[in-house]
Structure 1
C-alpha cells in the first residue's frame, strides 16, 4: 500500500490505543506506554528491512524460518507476541491495569489488521498457514471516524497550546506546528496528555470503544451471512476468507467454475451479487507448457508469504527460455490492494535445469528474488 495508506493505518491503531488508555484511567506515563503498544507490532518493518538485506545469503530452510520471525505482519502480529509483551509489562511495571491495557492495545492492532484484508499468521507458531477474516474494508468509515476522534482532540489541544504560546510571547512558529503535533504524542506533558489522564471525554471514549468492539464483531458475522446467501444463489461453495472487501460492504470472491475457468463475482449487503464474469486459468498452449507450469507452481508452493490463492498462468517462449507469469485471478479487480498486485515471473532455461525468479508488486518493474526463497 502507499505511504498515505500506511500513515492512516498507523494513526487508526494509535487512536484506538488512546481510547483504551483513557478508559483504563492511567497516568501520563502509562498512557504513553499504551499508545506505543498500539503501534508496536508495525515496528516489525525494522526487522523486515534487515531480513531483506540478508535474505540473498540464506538457504531455503533459514529463509523460511527467519521470514516467520522477521517478515512484516508475521511474528510481531501474533497472539504469542502479544502475550510475551503483556507479561513483560506486568513483570516490569507491577501494575495489573497497565498490563491489561497494554495487552488490549496490542490485540486491537492485531485484530484490526486481521479483520481487514491482510493475510496473517496470528496463531503462529501453532498454525503456520495464513488466514484472514476480511470482514471490514481498510477505509471503513466507522473504524476510521472512531479512531480519529481522540487524535482530533489532541490536535485541537495542541493548536490551543500553540496559540497561547503566541499570545504570551513564547516564540510560536506556525510552520513548526505540524511537527509539534507529532512530537507531542510521545514527548512532554501537553494538555492532551493531562486531559486523558484526568478523564476528559472519558464517557465519550467509553461509548466509542464499545461501538468499535461491537462493529468489529458484527461485520465478520454479517459477512458470513452474505457469503452463505451467495453460496445458495451460486450453488457452489464460496471461500469466506478468500472473499475480500473492496469497499465498505462490497466483497470480491472467486471460485473454480470448471477445469479451465474461474468465476469472479462481487457482492454487497444491499443487492447480493452485483457483477460476475469468467477468467481463464491459463493463457498458453497447455500441452507444451504443462511441465513448466508444474515447476512454477511447485517452486511457488515452497515459498513465503503465499499470496496467490487462485493461480492464473501466462506462458510465453523466447529462444531457449520459457517464461511463466503466475498471478492471482483477483489481481485485475483489486485496484487498491498491494497484497494482490503481485506477479511471480519464472524464467526457465529449456536447455538446462536453471531458472530465475522475479517478482512485480504493484509497480511497473520487477526485481529478482533470492534463491533461498524457493526449494
Structure 2
C-alpha cells in the first residue's frame, strides 16, 4: 500500500516521460489517484449494505469496496477506452492506462489483497513481495514533486528578491540606505548561490526531460519486478526446508527482505515462520487453531459454525483462522481471528477480529467486528447469510 503522494508522483513521472503538458499532465496526475475513489464508493456501500440481501451485498462489495473494481485491470482498460474516445490521443491514452494500472500494481506488489481480474474472476490475490514502506517504491515517485517544488522555490525566490530590492530611494534616510545596502549585498549573495544551484539542476532536467523521468520509471519497474521473482525462489527454498508447500500469496513482507509465512502443521496447529532472503527461517513457533476457556464440551462445533458463517462473507481478511471459545450464561462466544494477529501491533495486517455470540436455546447469533485500535461494531445478518 503506497502513499497517495507517491501515486501522484507516478502520474507526474509518466506525464514528463511522455512529454505531456498543461491539462494532459494534470489529467495523468488525477488519473494516478482515480483508483482510490473507492474510498468514497465504500462509504456509500456501508450506508446501503444493511438493507439488501446477502447475495446483493456481496455483489455490491465487488463493485464498491476498497481495492475491488477500481483496482482491476478491467477498470484501467475501460478508462483508457474512454480517454481514447474523448481525445484520440494515443500518447495520452497510453499514459492514462499506465497511470491507473501502475497505481493498482504498486498496491498489488506491497500488501493489498484484491481481485485484479474482476469481473472475469472473483479470486483474491496479491504479490506481497515488497514492504509497504520500501524506500525505492515510496521515494522515487516523489522526485517529480520535489522538482516541482524546486521550480516553485526558484520562481518564488526570484520574485521575492526583486521585490525586496526594489528600494524607493526617496523614502530612505541615509543611515537606512547604508544598512539596507549592506544587508542587500549579503542577501543577494545567498540567493545567487541558491538560484545558481537550482538553475543548474533545472537546466539539466529540462535538457533531458524525457530520458530523465523515463529512467526513474524503468528503475521502478525493475524494482517491482525483481522482488516478486526473488520471492518465488525464497518461498521454494523454505518449502523444501519445511517439507511442505508454503503459500506465496499468504506470505507477507514485514520489513525489507523479511516475510511472515504460515502453514497448517497438523489438524490442530499452524506453524508460523519469520523468513528472510539472507537467513532463511529466522524464527518459528506454533499457534493452536482452537483454544477453549472453561468447560465448553461442544466448542469445536461452535468454532466450525463460526467458520462456516465467515466463509460466506466478503471481504475474506483472515487466511489462517483461529478460534477462541468460551461460554457464559447460556451464550457461547467464539472469537475468530488470524493466527498472525499478534503481529498487528507491528504491521498493518491481520487486524480483523470477529466475535460471534451464539444463544444455546434459540440458536440465534450476533456478530461483532473490530480492528486493532478501533471500536467494535455489530454486523448485519446479511453479512453472512
Query: Does the alignment reach a TM-score above 0.5?
Result: yes
- 2:183 alignment counterpart: none
Q: How does 1:173-252 map to 2 (within 5 A)?
A: 201-252=209-260
Distance 1:286 1:116, change over 3 A: farther
- From 292, 308, 314, the counterpart of 2:302: 292
- 2:30 alignment counterpart: 36
User: Which structure has the larger Rg over C-alpha atoms?
Assistant: 2
- 2:366 alignment counterpart: 356
User: What is the CA-CA distance between 1:196 and the residue it aligns to?
Assistant: 12
What is the DSSP-based 3-state SS (H/G/I as helix, E as strand, rest coil) of the residue aligned with 1:15? helix
Distance 1:316 1:286, change over 3 A: closer
- 2:171 alignment counterpart: none
What is the DSSP-based 3-state SS (H/G/I as helix, E as strand, rest coil) of the residue aligned with 2:32? helix
User: What is the CA-CA distance between 1:197 and the residue it aligns to?
Assistant: 11
On the 8 A contact 1:300/1:374 being kept in 2, the answer is: yes
- 2:272 alignment counterpart: 264
Q: After superposition, give the CA deviation of every residue in 1:220-276 in whole Å (9 maximum; x if it has no partner).
A: 000000111111111111001110001111000000001111100011111111111
Distance 1:211 1:336, change over 3 A: same
- 1:187 alignment counterpart: none
On the 8 A contact 1:15/1:150 being kept in 2, the answer is: yes
- 1:102 alignment counterpart: 96
Distance 1:248 1:148, change over 3 A: same
Structure 1 residues 334-343 or 111-120, which shifts more?
334-343
Distance 2:373 2:52 in 1: 26
User: What is the CA-CA distance between 1:54 and the residue it aligns to?
Assistant: 1.7
User: What is the CA-CA distance between 1:317 and the residue it aligns to?
Assistant: 0.7
Distance 2:161 2:364 in 1: 72
- From 299, 323, 326, the counterpart of 2:333: 323
Q: After superposition, give the CA deviation of every residue in 1:3-32 in whole Å (9 maximum; x if it has no partner).
A: xxx8x6111111112111111111221111
Structure 1 residues 355-364 or 108-117, which shifts more?
355-364
Q: After superposition, give the CA deviation of every residue in 1:79-123 in whole Å (9 maximum; x if it has no partner).
A: 111111000001101101000001011110011011111110010
Q: Which runs of 5+ in 2 are unaligned?
A: 165-198
Distance 1:49 1:280 in 2: 36
- From 268, 278, 288, the counterpart of 2:286: 278
Distance 1:279 1:99, change over 3 A: same
The answer as to 2:161 corresponding to 1:167 is: yes
If the length of structure 1 is used for normalisation, what is the TM-score? Answer: 0.88
User: What is the CA-CA distance between 1:311 and the residue it aligns to?
Assistant: 0.5
If the length of structure 2 is used for normalisation, what is the TM-score? Answer: 0.86
The answer as to 2:313 corresponding to 1:303 is: yes
Q: Which runs of 5+ in 1 are unaligned?
A: 1-5, 171-190
Aligned residue pair count: 347
Aligned CA RMSD, in angstroms, stands at 2.1
Distance 1:169 1:58 in 2: 64
Distance 1:213 1:64 in 2: 34
Distance 2:310 2:204 in 1: 50
- 1:45 alignment counterpart: 39
Distance 1:298 1:195 in 2: 63
The answer as to 2:126 corresponding to 1:116 is: no
Distance 2:63 2:158 in 1: 48
What is the DSSP-based 3-state SS (H/G/I as helix, E as strand, rest coil) of the residue aligned with 2:304? helix
User: What is the CA-CA distance between 1:59 and the residue it aligns to?
Assistant: 1.6
Distance 2:205 2:139 in 1: 22
What is the DSSP-based 3-state SS (H/G/I as helix, E as strand, rest coil) of the residue aligned with 1:266? strand
